Amino acid sequence: MASTTVWLVVGLIVGLVVGIAIGYAVMPPKTVTVTKYVNVTTTTNVTTPVTTTTTVSTAPFAVGAAGTLKFAFGDILNVMQSMYPSITIAPAMFKGSGEVAHTEATTQQFSVVASADTTTIPSVLFPNYTNYEIAFGITQMVIIVDLNTTAGQEVYQLWQQAQSYPPLSAQYNETWQKIWQIIALNSSTVVGVSNPFTDPSGYQAQCVVKLAGLAFFNNASYLYNAIYGNPSKYMMRNTEIDLLTLMTSGQVDFILSAYESNAIPQTQTYHNTVFITLPPFVNLGNLSYVNYYHQVSVTWTENGVTKTFACNPVVYTITIPFQAPNKQAAEYFLLLLYSPIGQKILEENGIVPIIPGIVYGNYSAVPNAIKPFVAPLSQYPQYASIFPSQG
């Protein structure tokens, strides 16, 4: 099939470019099979960039990224350190995407900045600190469940039942109604969420709640008002990775601000926690449902400031800022991200690679070594609506 051919070609180019441009041969390549990815077919001819010899910078290489990239990027940084021991890798900052972007705007300390949505980097860092971002992966929203509670056990059992029913059948819909009634309508349960102003998973969780209300109760506001209209119903933190502490201390029963990319490692670490997946028309993890997701939006007010957020798929984006202290190491990192090893690491952490990466903003500013793995948004107008308007 055409998609298989494209993937094979991309795989060959990845090996060639990484091998030549960043010394891939320093470490023997692993045999990797990536079984799931978003393939965006391109008609553009892909060419191998010209390799030039440059002096390696001695400046520390620091990553600033969304908290849920801590696990995948941590693994990639470990590989990078073993391949390039001469590069000084500074401690990474894994926080809410908004906090990371504002830190970069203030300090210009990061050589790479990555976000868990398509809007944070453009809204905070364009045009003074960077002028492009690359959409490199997509994950899905999930719900982390505490099995130490009766409510958590009930929800998990119902979710297991739902998996055996045909999607959108009467039994399927009724089971999901019961799940959401326990989570949102039961006065004895509390949910953990992150702050929409500091972390995209905050408003993305609100999108999920609205979409679930629309899908299973024919009312987008029904579940949303039950949770966010009742301050005693939720506990909020600045980033989703801080919410597990609330769960382990028994303060919340469910975490709504959760991605598969952080739920996989976190539920492996924390005893008696599991995560449940959501239907594709609710989980913000499927590019085929973009138009359905856009049926709802969310508005949040804090300290007199009101913002409205579009409900887009959970797409991870990355950029190299203008003032990156070590741009060459940043290019190495992106090349490793697009290598077979990097793509496998993303997969293992619940992130589906987007092949080729989609560039929003100034495509010409993308380093030449990275261009074989990416393409400008203009080639994929069907995805334009998930990025900020360029008008």
The mean predicted confidence, pLDDT, of the chain is 88
Do 209 and 299 reside in the same domain of the chain?
Answer: yes
Q: What is the pLDDT of residue 27?
A: 35
Q: What is the pLDDT of residue 239?
A: 83
Confidence of residue 389 (pLDDT cuts 50, 70, 90): confident
Domain for residue 22, yes or no?
A: no
Q: What is the pLDDT of residue 40?
A: 63
Q: Locate tokens 């293992």: which residue? A: 348
Q: How many CB atoms lie within 10 A of CB 54?
A: 9
113-138 average pLDDT score: 98
Give the C-alpha separation, 347 to 335, whole Å.
Answer: 16
Do 91 and 131 reside in the same domain of the chain?
Answer: yes
Q: How many CB atoms lie within 10 A of CB 139?
A: 27
Q: How many CB atoms lie within 10 A of CB 274?
A: 17
Domain for residue 3, yes or no?
A: no
Do 360 and 336 reside in the same domain of the chain?
Answer: yes
Do 294 and 341 reside in the same domain of the chain?
Answer: no
Quick: pLDDT tens for 82-100: 999 999 999 999 998 999 9
Q: What is the CATH number of the domain that holds 366?
A: 3.40.190.10
- 338 Cβ partners below 8 Å, 6+ apart? 14, 18, 136, 357, 370, 373
Number of compact structural domains in the chain: 2
Do 216 and 134 reside in the same domain of the chain?
Answer: no
Domain for residue 12, yes or no?
A: no
Give the C-alpha separation, 120 to 117, whole Å.
Answer: 6
Helix, strand or coil, per DSSP, at residue 382: helix
Last residue of a domain, one of 310, 327, 342: 310
Last residue of a domain, one of 289, 310, 331: 310
Last residue of a domain, one of 257, 279, 310: 310
Sign of the four-CA dihedral 21, 23, 29, 34: negative
Give the C-alpha separation, 62 to 66, whole Å.
Answer: 13
Do 161 and 276 reside in the same domain of the chain?
Answer: yes
Do 269 and 339 reside in the same domain of the chain?
Answer: no
Do 93 and 119 reside in the same domain of the chain?
Answer: yes
Domain for residue 13, yes or no?
A: no
Domain for residue 8, yes or no?
A: no
User: For residue 275, what are the domain limits?
Assistant: 141-310
